[in-house]
Chains A and B, each alone.
Chain A
Amino acid sequence: MLSFALVNTLAGFLIVTSQSVILAKTSKSAAKFYSLQSLLLVLIFLVLARLQGAHELYLWSATAFVTKVVLLPLVMLKFFGKLVDPNLEAESILPPAASVALSAAVVILCFVVVLGVSLPGSADIKPALAISLAHFFLGLVCIVTQRNILKQVFGYCLMENGSHLTLALLAPNAPELVEVGIATDAIFAVVVMGVLGTQIFRQLNTLDARALTTLKG
Chain B
Amino acid sequence: MVSSSLPLYALCGPLAASALIFATPARRALLPLYETLHVASIASALAVAFKIAADVVGGETLSAYHDWFMVDALGVIFLGLIGIVGFLTGAYSLSYIRHDLHAGALDVKRAKLYYALFSLFLAMMLLSVMANNIIMMWVAIEATTLGSAFLVGIYGKKSSLEAAWKYVIICTVGVAFGLYGAVLAYANSVAVAGDHHAAILWTTLIEQAPHLDPTIVKLVFVFALIGFGTKVGLFPMHAWLPDAHSEAPSPVSALLSGVLLKCALLAVIRYYAVTVRAVGPDFPQMLLLLLGGLSIAVAAMLFYVQQDLKRKLAYSSVEHVGLMALGLGIGGPLGVGAALLHAINHSFAKALLFCGSGNVLMKYGVRDLGSVKGMLRSAPISGLLIMAGALALAGFPPFNVFVSEFLVFAAGVKGGHIWLMVICALFFTVTVGGLIQIISGSVLGKCPEGLAKGDVGFAALAPMVVLFGLVLAMGVAVPKPVAQLIQNASAIVTGAPSVALTAPWQIEAKAERSSAVAAAAPSQESQQ
A170 with B159, Cβ < 8 A, contacts A159-B173, A188-B146, A189-B172 known: no
Q: 1/0 contact trace for B215-239 toward A, CB 8 Å?
A: 1100100000000000000000000
Residue with the greatest number of chain A CB neighbours at <10 A, chosen from B143, B162, B166, B246? B162
Q: List the one stretch of B1-9, B186-194, B350-358 in contact with chain A.
A: B186-194
Interface size on A, residues (CB 8 A): 46
Our pick among A159, A166, A182 for the contact of B139 (Cβ within 8 Å) is A182
Q: Shortest distance in angstroms between A118's beta carbon and chain B's nearest beta carbon? A: 7
How many angstroms between the C-alpha atoms of A171 and B196 in the bound complex? 8
Contact B146 A192 (CB under 8 A): yes
Binds A, one of B54-62, B150-158, B494-502: B150-158
Closest to A191 in B: B146
| B187–A167 touching, CB < 8 Å | yes
Contacting residues, chain B, for A160 (C-beta < 8 A): 176, 179
Task: Determine if A196 and B149 form an interchain contact, defined as CB atoms under 8 angstroms apart.
Answer: yes
> Which one of B186, B215, B305, B311 contacts A174 once the chains associate, using CB atoms below 8 Å?
B186
Of all chain B residues, the one with the shortest Cβ separation from A133 is B180
> Does A173 count as interface, using CB distance less than 8 angstroms?
yes
| In the complex, chain A residues whose CB is within 8 Å of the CB of B302 | 217
User: Residue A96 at the B interface, CB < 8 A?
Assistant: no
Partner of A200, one of B162, B191, B247: B162
Contact B162 A192 (CB under 8 A): no
Contact with A along B306-341 (1 / 0, CB 8 A): 100001000000000000000000000000000000
CB contacts under 8 Å to B, within A112-171, are 116-121, 136, 139-140, 143, 149, 152, 155-156, 159-160, 162-163, 166-167, 170-171
Q: In whole Å, how far is A124's beta carbon from the nearest beta carbon of chain B?
A: 15
Contact, CB under 8 Å: A200 / B161 = yes
* Chain B residues, CB < 8 A from A116: 215
Task: Give Cα A199–Cα B246 distance, bound, in whole angstroms.
Answer: 19
Interface size class on chain B is 35 or more
Which of B139, B165, B200 is A185 in contact with, Cβ under 8 Å?
A: B139
**A214 CB–B CB distance under 8 Å:** yes
Which of A175, A182, A196 lies in contact with B200, CB distance below 8 A? Answer: A175
Question: Is A86 positioned at the interface, with any CB of B under 8 Å from its CB?
Answer: no
A165–B53 Cα distance when bound, in Å, is 39
Q: Which residues of A contact B311 (CB under 8 A)?
A: 217
Residue of B nearest to A162 (CB): B180
Chain A residues within an 8 Å CB radius of B179:
160, 163, 182
List chain A residues, Cβ under 8 A from B162: 200, 212-215
Is the C-beta of B197 less than 8 angstroms from some C-beta in chain A? Answer: yes
Known: A152-B169, A212-B166. A185 touches B142 (CB 8 A): yes
Quote the shortest CB–CB distance from B256 to chain A (angstroms): 15
Per the 8 Å Cβ criterion, residues 183-208 of A in contact with B are 184-185, 188-189, 192-193, 195-197, 199-200, 203-204
Least distance between B243 CB and chain A CB atoms (Å): 4
Q: Are B184 and A166 in contact (CB under 8 A)?
A: yes
Question: Is B20 an interface position by the 8 A CB rule?
Answer: no
Q: Is A95's beta carbon under 8 Å from chain B?
A: no
Q: Mark B424-437, 1 if CB is under 8 A from A, else 0.
A: 00000000000000
Interface string of A76-89 (1 = CB under 8 A from B): 00000000000000
- Least Cβ distance of A173 to chain B in Å? 4
User: In the complex, A174→B143 CA distance in Å?
Assistant: 21
**Closest residue of B by beta carbon distance from A199:** B161
In the assembled complex, which residues on chain A have CB atoms less than 8 Å from the CB atom of B191?
Answer: 119-121
Chain A residues with Cβ below 8 Å from B169 are: 143, 149, 152, 156, 193
**Residue of B149, B172, B179, B247 with most chain A CB atoms under a 10 A cut-off:** B172
For the complex, is A178 an interface residue (Cβ under 8 Å from B)?
yes
Partner of B173, one of A143, A149, A167, A196: A143
A-B contacts besides A160-B179, A173-B196, A181-B136, 15 pairs, CB < 8 Å = A118-B213, A149-B169, A170-B186, A171-B183, A174-B196, A175-B197, A178-B136, A181-B139, A184-B139, A185-B142, A188-B143, A192-B150, A192-B168, A200-B161, A200-B165
Interchain residue pairs A-B with the least CB separation, the first 8: A170-B187, A181-B139, A173-B196, A171-B187, A215-B243, A167-B183, A159-B176, A212-B162
